[in-house]
Every structure is written in structure tokens, then in C-alpha cells.
Amino acid sequence: MLPAEADIPVPQAEQRLRALQRQPALFGPDVAEVEWIETHISWLLLAGDRVYKFKKPLKLDFLDFSTRALRRAACEEELRINRRTAPSLYLGLVGLSGTAAQGLRLQPLEQAPQDAEPAVCMRRFAQDDLLLQRLQDGQLGGADMDALACEIARFHASAAVAGTAQGWGTPLAVQAPVRDCLAALQAQADSGWAALVPALQSLAPWCQQQGAALAPVFEARRLAGRVRECHGDLHLGNLVLLEGQPQAFDAIEFNPALRWIDVVADIAFLVMDLQARDRADGAWRFLDGWLAQEGDFAGMAVLRYYTVYRALVRARVAGMRATQALPASAQAMARAECAQYLALACQCMQPRSAELWLTHGLSGSGKSTQALGLVQARGVVRLRADVERKRLFGLTPGEDSTAIDGGIYTPQATERTYEHLRQQARLVLQSGYTVLVDASFLDPAMRAPFLALAQELGVVCRILAFEAPLAVLRERVRARQQAGGDPSEADEAVLLAQWAARQPFSAAEQGHVLRVDTTRAVDWDHLLPAAHTK
């Protein structure tokens, strides 16, 4: 950390805001009390239904708020980038002028004197609506992860794509913040924090080796437009439920290099955060939904690297807190948190045993329902034929395909869909993850290329054969059609055609088949021991 260089000393700036806090009437006639929150770079005053965020006059190795002009520019940038995801939350800018002795004044920034201290004015929300709080209260479920995945995918799709002038997303730009985190943590280890040494001895060479090995991938993704103006700090503490919809706020405004990043680097923060809070099921549910919207299965090649990086970021921040002038209990908590995130980083860098799983079953057999359960319980990547088929024709998962000339269910379209699934499965397997291809796979000719792929890559292939009586299948298909919103468009006529054309597995396939009765609760721990996915 560099020494502070400010146009106003930090203690003096804090004293001025403390004086403002003691005058709630300056915030409006209905404000009786003003609450105070402090972060390592900001002060927040909570007054009535508003929040006023002032930036500390600091110059650190990753930001510069040392002059009023820089703080104003940062406030303007914060307003711009956060209105992309939470426009109703970010109301505008205000300026604080005057002194405690002569009188303070808070007014819209455009009406304030030139020397006014700038701040971002936000609409206040209930702390219970933070996704972090909802998780701690046991209120964060799968539907929340689905909605969040759709929202973040929508945001990424509309985000500005990085050009070439600034060098965002180059291999050097990707590796630099990882090295910075490791260097900062190593400095703390060298200063006497010996407990950090074992983890860093494993992480440093792994990050260097992986950074070099993935350099061509980073560059290819940059050229493919996957580096965008993202959020940069996408964790549960920066996500809130507003009017029933999850929204991201508090994006990184102080350092553009930390938000002009690969979209996978953006979601990796949330994936890591959920894992750190013992909600790996939520992490995989979110990732599954985001991939269904984005189709960026090639991004799995860099997910592990970025997840390790995000854990290092959290370890570094906790390490910084541990060295600040805090009560002994708070310092001990920060040290424990730093160790926790380093342990998670070490866990994330461990390779997994990749396998290829194929679903098999008629419409209504429970393939997609059971597949989603496996995604959450086993941490596998799902490729859903109903979704990928529509993607090939430019449709979103929930769109009706009837407007497509010629339809999307012709033999040619089906062959194209399965070939696409095979290509994407290859990418995921080569990235070191088990992939679950969620398709009917009723035709042996469609299964054969996937069995060959598993043999080529030297991975285990399993065929999960989901079964139920015809009457049950018909009832499920009818119920699905009535409910609507499902990517599958198979109706009862399709089901009956499938039933009539079904074929037994060949002798060569029998060794790969795992039969699953979906008329009862499926015990995956018994049918498919977790050891197979480690």
C-alpha cells in the first residue's frame, strides 16, 4: 500500500462527515437519525430512505482518490456503471459544502460550489433484501439462482465489448492482478505471518504455470469479444432483490482494469463466494443457468483460474484488514478469513476427474429434472439439447419455435443439434469438468459419436436411462405443456411417436447404462457414488 496523499487528511475528512451525521435535519425534515458505515475506501451515511456514499481521500496501489477532482470523477463513473444494472437504486450526485463551525450544506452536485465534496446518492433498501443476508437467513433458493443467472447474462450481453487500444483482457492484463494478490500476501508472510506460507508455496507456481498455459486462450477470448465492461465485484454482498428481481450494484469504478474483464472472470467471483459459504449447490445452479443463457461453454477452460484469482482477492482484502488498527478479536477474525480463502483457492486449483454422462429417456421421463439435481449435487456442466437446439436457430430457451420456417425439429436440425452438443461436450471435458448431455438419445446413431468421444479422450462414459410407465409420461408431458415456459416443446404426439420407435441398448452399450426409475425418489448416492465425480 502506498502512503496516503490527499488534498484533505483522512481524519479531517472523517471529522467533517461525523459532524454531518450529527445533523440529521440537513438530510430532510423526516430524518431523525443518521447511521454510519465504513469500508476500507468509503464512508456511507444512511439517512431516511437515502444512502450517501463519500470516498475517502486515499491513494492506494489500486486506486487514487487523493484529490477532490479524482473523487468527483469516480463518483460520476460509479453512477454511470451502476445504472446499467440498478438504475432505480442510483439517484444522482450530491455535494457537501461548508464547515462544521460555519454550517454544512448538502445539495445536488450541479448546484453545489466547486469545492464541494462529492458523494453518490442512492435509494436505501432493506438489509434483508441483500442476497448475502437472504443466504444467511436460509431464504436463497434455486429460483433465485435462476433469476440471477438470467439477469447477469442479460447484463453481459449488453455490456460494451473491449477494444484493442487499452489492452484489456490480454494475457498480461489477466495475469497482473493475480501476481499482485500473491505479492501482497507474500509480503505479509515475509513480515512474520508464517501460516500463509504453505498455501502460497502451492498457489504461486500453479498460478504462474496456468497463466502461461492459458495465455493463448485468454487472447482468443479477447479477440472473440468475451472481454467486456463487466461489474468486477460480483459477490453476494453486492447483489440485492429489488421489486422481486435480483440486481447488481457497487460495481468497481475506481480501476477500469478490474471491470474490463472476461465475463467468466466476472461470474467466477459469485461462484467462488457461494462455494466459500458452503453453497456449492447454488454456485453450480447459477453457473448452469448462466451457461444456458450465454452458451459460453468454451469459458469453462478459464473458470478454474479465475475462481482461484477471486479467492486470492478475498484473501488479500482480509489480510489487509488483519494489519489495520482494529480490536484484537477483529484482527483474529480477519486472519481466519484470509486463511479460509487461501484454503479455498488451493481447493479450487485441484483437478477433477472428468466424465461424460448422457441422459436417455422419452419425453416426460424426468431427464431435465434429474439432470438439474445432479448439476447442483455433483458439480457437473449440463448441455441441454432443448436449449442448444434453439440457440442454433437464434432463439432464447423460452421462445416458441413455430415462427421458424421449416421448423427446428427436422432430421437435419436434429443431426446439427447433436453435433453441436458433441463439440461443446469436447470443450467442457478438455477443460477438466464432467459434462452431462441432457438429450433424449433414443437413436443409437446419435449415441455412437459421444461414446467415441469418451474413448478418444479417455474418460468414463455413462448412459443414465430414465424410465417411467407410459401413463406417467403422458401425464407429465400434459402438465408441462399446461405450465408453459419450458424449453422443451414435445407434446403427447411426440411422446407416442418416441414410444413406438424406442429401441433396446446394444450389447456394447449395456456396460455404460445406469437405469433410473423416476416414479420414486432417486438415491444418487446409491446409484452413482460421489467418488466417481471427484
Q: What is the pLDDT of residues 73-102, one digit of tens each?
A: 999 999 999 999 999 999 999 999 999 888
The conformation of residue 164, written as its DSSP 8-state character, comes to S
pLDDT value of position 305: 98
Counting residues of the chain whose pLDDT is more than 70, the rounded percentage is 97
Q: What is the mean pLDDT of residues 27-34?
A: 94
Provide the CA 187 distance to its chain's centre, in angstroms. 29
Residues in a beta bridge with 355:
460
Q: Report whether pLDDT(10) > 90.
A: no
Q: Which residue has the higher pLDDT, 172 or 368?
A: 172
Provide the CA 45 distance to its chain's centre, in angstroms. 29
pLDDT value of position 214: 98
The count of other CB atoms within 10 Å of the CB of residue 477 is 22
Whole-angstrom distance, CA of residue 267 vs CA of residue 283: 10
Encode burial over 13-23: b for 16+ CB neighbours within 10 A, e otherwise: bbebbeebbee
pLDDT value of position 510: 94
The conformation of residue 190, written as its DSSP 8-state character, comes to H
Cell numbers at residue 160, please?
460494451
Whole-angstrom distance, CA of residue 280 vs CA of residue 236: 14
pLDDT value of position 2: 40
Q: Which of 207, 201, 203, 199 is nearest to 174 (CA)?
A: 207
Of 104-113, 406-415, 440-449, minimum mean pLDDT range: 406-415
Place of cell 464547515: 99
pLDDT value of position 6: 60
Q: Which of 233, 299, 296, 308 is nearest to 270 (CA)?
A: 233
Q: Which of 347, 312, 310, 352 is nearest to 459 (CA)?
A: 352
pLDDT value of position 487: 66
Write out pLDDT tens, residues 57-74.
999 878 899 999 999 999
Query: What's the half-sphere exposure (Cβ side, CA atoms, 13 Å) at 289?
Result: 22
Whole-angstrom distance, CA of residue 268 vs CA of residue 304: 8
Cell numbers at residue 437, please?
448431455
Q: Is there a contact between 355 and 532 (Cβ–Cβ < 8 Å)?
A: yes
Whole-angstrom distance, CA of residue 378 vs CA of residue 464: 15
Q: Which of 67, 9, 13, 74 is nearest to 38 (CA)?
A: 13
Q: Report whether pLDDT(237) > 60.
A: yes
pLDDT value of position 481: 76
Q: Is there a contact between 307 and 271 (Cβ–Cβ < 8 Å)?
A: yes
| Rounded (5°) CA angle 365-492-521 | 20
Write out pLDDT tens, residues 302-359.
999 999 999 999 999 999 888 877 788 988 999 999 999 999 999 999 998 899 999 9
pLDDT value of position 1: 38
Write out pLDDT tens, residues 190-212.
999 999 999 999 999 999 999 99
In the three-class reduction of DSSP (H, G, I as helix; E, B as strand; rest coil), residue 181 is classed as helix
Of 105-119, 128-142, 486-500, minimum mean pLDDT range: 486-500
Whole-angstrom distance, CA of residue 232 vs CA of residue 313: 11
Place of cell 467471483: 269
In the three-class reduction of DSSP (H, G, I as helix; E, B as strand; rest coil), residue 401 is classed as coil
Q: Report whether pLDDT(162) > 90.
A: yes
Label residue 319 left, alpha or beta by phi (over 0 means left) and psi (-120 to 50 means alpha). alpha
Query: Rounded to 5, what percent of the chain is helix, strand, coil?
Result: 55, 15, 30
Residues in a beta bridge with 514:
464
Q: Which residue has the higher pLDDT, 502 or 180?
A: 180
pLDDT band of 409, cuts 50, 70, 90 = confident
Q: Which of 132, 92, 86 is nearest to 112 (CA)?
A: 92
Residue type for position 354: A
Write out pLDDT tens, residues 454-510.
999 999 999 999 998 998 998 888 888 777 766 666 678 888 888 888 888 999 999
pLDDT band of 166, cuts 50, 70, 90 = confident
Q: Report whether pLDDT(401) > 90.
A: no
Question: What is the value of pTM for the model shown?
Answer: 0.92
Q: Report whether pLDDT(9) > 50.
A: yes
The count of other CB atoms within 10 Å of the CB of residue 336 is 11
Q: Report whether pLDDT(301) > 60.
A: yes
Q: Which of 271, 262, 237 is nearest to 251 (CA)?
A: 237
For all residues of the chain together, what is the average pLDDT?
Answer: 92
Provide the CA 152 distance to its chain's centre, in angstroms. 8
Q: Report whether pLDDT(4) > 70.
A: no
Whole-angstrom distance, CA of residue 123 vs CA of residue 89: 5
Q: Is there a contact between 211 and 173 (Cβ–Cβ < 8 Å)?
A: no
